[in-house]
Structure 1
Amino acid sequence: MAAAGGAAPGGEGGEADIGPSSVEAAFQVAQSLMELFQTRQHDALIQHLPEAVIDRLLERKASRQREQAGLPITALQQPDETGQSLSFEELLALAQPPDLELDSYSARGVLLAVPRSATVLSSLRLAPTLFRQRYEVTTQSGEEMVLTFELQLEEALEPKYRGLQLVHKWFLKAIKGEPACPGELPLKPEPRWGPETIVQAQLAALQRGDAAGVFCFASPRNQQVTGPLERFEAMLQMPQYRPLLHHESADLLRCVHMKPDVAIVIVGVRSNIPTGEPGVTQRVVYSWTVRLQGQAASGGCADCWMTDSVSPISQNLFTA
């Protein structure tokens, strides 16, 4: 495991400003966060969330505990001592995007496993209270990505002799990711590509009607069921899959990890199949199940994300 590298941003030829509101202070917070991920000290990450966020999460925790205990709704307004501590697992279960935004890349890059390596790329202060730190990260399976840590400058209370003092501190707001080469799509499975990119590669092949280009990203267990290629081509002509062929457009709506090695990618596809009504097109939402193949997988599939299954989950018509 390689530690995050790079020096704190600052001017040349003089001592950098390292006050609590400075870019240097924000960089140090980002570095501390990455070190906590690399050493699996997840519970310590909670100290880098604003007090208001912690209060909201504790409120939700206490409410859930009271609901599970069968207490009346009016009792939900009375927090008790059982909800006054918070673990990292509880944080992930309770947090919502306004509190803390963690996407599927951050899950694979730093949350579910220690990154194999993390290298500082760039630091940028977008506004007086907003800072972004970018890292190039390689996961244990070999996936290559860029993670952006977004920090927010907020007021906080700190102990002071015989009281409290108001200070400004940088807090974690979001961790978002993208492929290391966002404009590139793979032609075959490789460890450096994540599940979102695998789905995008299959969608591109479906749009051009390239069944072989889709089939090569199907997992070995998938190919055993849907193969050989001739059978797979015929399957794509079935009513539930026909909207995928030569589709007009497709959007990745969401990606979530059910397990560390299983991702569910929700895709909205606008079909080019005529509906019989002028100006009306068909939109189908599909669920892709993408699985990380183990190190013992054969056929060059080891440590590659590959598709286990694709299923339609909704369909509707709308005016173009």
Structure 2
Amino acid sequence: MMYITYKIKITALSRFLIFVAFVSFSAATSSAQTIDTLKAPAPVLKGLYADPNITAFGKKFYIYPTSDGTVGWMSTSFTCWSSDNLVDWKNEGVILDLPRDLTWAKERAWAPTIATKNNKYYYYYSANVNIGVAVADKPEGPFKDPIGKPLIARGTRGGQMIDPMAFVDDDGTAYLYWGQGQCNIVKLNDDMTSCDTSKIISVKPEGYNEGPFMIKRKGIYYLMWSEYDTRDPRYSIAYATSTSPLGPFKKAIGHPVLKGKGVVKGAGHHSVVQVPGTDDWYIAYHRFAIPDGNGYNRETCVSPMRFDADGNILPVDVFEKLKPVKIKKAKK
């Protein structure tokens, strides 16, 4: 009789412990879901900004974005933001104003990029669905139009002539990538303000829509781009690799770079910066503004971006909190 009573007590205790474990697991799961939907990190730039181009010059980081917040993306000027730690950003003001500084376009100031060469800074941008170039002596500008016309005029190739990305290879050769609908690539001349448009190469990796970006790591070229439309919550980033900046490119199947989750929607149109002197990489991108954002009301974020041992880009965690980063070795 005592033996039977003892077994009953153990059974009851076991059931109680199982119940406690279940409640704890449910609470943990609920907590994780809450983080996914309610606790996304704050944007790094105050206000509505999209299409961020992040880079490093000297011991500072810079972001060159599109000013957002109008239906049809009708912005007319560009700003520059600087930071010495990736977390705290200073608005350096307007660096290029289309109505004031251009004779050939007045609106639709979109998706800029910047590169340095010849002790100058070259700023490429979309203006009224053309691609222009401007030049300055400092990263903060002011920038001036040196050619008085588009560098790449609308209609030069299929798709829209937007979303330029300038990449300077280790040997000093500079390339321009751009295009919605297909990715166009051309080698820039040494002056960085001209190119031979008869030598444009056009490629269209599976899923490509817009926003090309090029990086090089350990001898491998990574062509990255945005998939879907920027107004689509599924907007996301994929990539392909090559041993040449001109391709051919092989898409990394099963290795998405970045996409939204939970409260984070429309995460895309990115750029990437390598912290000088390290193998540490960070990705800047926009997402729908939280809360109630959409494809015309977007905000800029920065997250760590990592590689695995085989050189694959690991999926970016859009909920990872950004920690301050200092540049110890200035980029030449």
TM-score class normalised by the smaller sequence: under 0.3
**Larger relative strand fraction:** 2
TM-score (norm 1): 0.27
TM-score (norm 2): 0.26
**Larger relative helix fraction:** 1
